[in-house]
């Protein structure tokens, strides 16, 4: 495996998942609309979910920084770390993100911001002190790759799609159990084919939100692999990030500033929760061992 083939593979799989997600939502909206003869159900759900996501999209960086207790880092305060980010940004051909630090001894990092012009990279004090320079470069390159690959924007789109599925399912179930079925019967529905379609719609309404979340998490894991490969391409040294991931995952100290709402942003689970094989389906990050294996196969 080469770095380039890993990048191409992850990009291709991401867009296949996104396309499949769109098809899934259109099919869901068609079934629900057909059952109640309301074709505007899908349109209303898309508009509502999009408005909610846009508000979060434009304010998310400030909210996350405040919740995490991060503070800005200037060139004078930490010239080495500042220059690592500056040099990698030049190599990547992107504007240099703002640099922030969380005063916590647990090693970790994350990126946020809606685009490269408004990006922020945050590292913890523990990451700064426990990693070597090459390991630190690997982590910063990984987070910069999230910015460069517009992962925040992509995941915002995915959140909208998940929101649409949740709204469609919720509305359908509410209409079914609080009078929608009666209105439908009065309109003349009730043939065998219509009953079968209603049963299918009810099953979809219950299962679709779970399926949507699984797709969202699968896309998130795919973007982590992509950021690993893109970061390795920036530094031309995959071992730096591989070694950093080993140290970060081996450190048992949970990050006090993190919570379940922000944990998905970090390069590794900051809550230090361990999951079995089944629960890995519900993880935002791939297993660290697999990430390290892929990075070292690029050497």
Catalytic positions: 143
CB within 8 Å of 24: residues ≥ 6 apart: 165, 208, 211, 212, 215
Q: At 173, list the tokens.
A: 């179930």
Q: Residue holding tokens 């240099």?
A: 96
d(CA 249, CA 293): 14
- Here the contacts of 273-281 (C-beta below 8 Å, separation 24 or greater) are 281/214, 281/217
The dihedral of CA 35, 36, 42, 48: what is its sign?
Answer: negative
| DSSP string covering 111-132 | EE-SSGGG-EEEEEHHHHHHS-
How far, CA to CA in Å, does 210 sit from each of 76, 81, 93, 149, 169? 48, 41, 39, 27, 11
The CA-CA-CA angle for residues 259, 264, 268, to 5°, reads 95
Pairing of strands 71-72, 98-102: antiparallel
Torsion of CA 278, 165, 146, 74, to 10 degrees: -110
Collapsing DSSP to helix, strand or coil, 30 comes out as helix
């Amino acid at each position: 495996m080469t770095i380039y083939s890993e990048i191409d593979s992850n990009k291709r799989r991401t867009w296949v998942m996104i396309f499949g997600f769109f098809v899934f939502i259109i099919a869901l909206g068609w079934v629900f609309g057909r059952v109640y003869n309301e074709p505007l159900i899908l349109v209303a759900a898309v508009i509502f979910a999009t408005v909610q996501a846009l508000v979060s999209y434009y304010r998310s960086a400030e909210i996350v920084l405040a919740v995490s207790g991060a503070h800005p880092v200037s060139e004078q305060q930490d010239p080495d770390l500042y220059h690592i980010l500056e040099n990698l940004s030049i190599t990547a051909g992107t504007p240099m993100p703002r640099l922030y630090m969380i005063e916590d001894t647990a090693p970790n990092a994350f990126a946020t911001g809606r685009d490269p012009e408004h990006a922020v990279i945050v590292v913890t004090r523990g990451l700064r002190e426990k990693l070597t320079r090459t390991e630190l470069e690997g982590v910063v390159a990984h987070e910069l790759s999230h910015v460069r690959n517009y992962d925040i924007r992509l995941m915002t789109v995915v959140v909208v799609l998940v929101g649409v599925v949740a709204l469609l399912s919720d509305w359908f179930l509410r209409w079914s159990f609080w009078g929608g079925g009666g209105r439908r019967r009065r309109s003349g529905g009730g043939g065998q084919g219509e009953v079968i379609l209603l049963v299918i719609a009810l099953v979809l309404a219950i299962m679709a939100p779970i399926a949507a979340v699984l797709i969202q998490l699968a896309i998130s894991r795919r973007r982590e692999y992509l950021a690993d490969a893109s970061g390795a391409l920036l530094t031309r040294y995959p071992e730096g990030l591989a070694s950093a991931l080993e140290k970060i995952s081996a450190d048992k100290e949970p990050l006090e500033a993190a919570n379940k709402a922000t944990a998905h942003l970090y390069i590794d689970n900051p809550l230090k929760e361990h999951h079995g094989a089944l629960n890995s389906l519900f993880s935002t990050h791939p297993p660290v061992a697999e990430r390290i294996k892929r990075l070292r196969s690029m050497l």
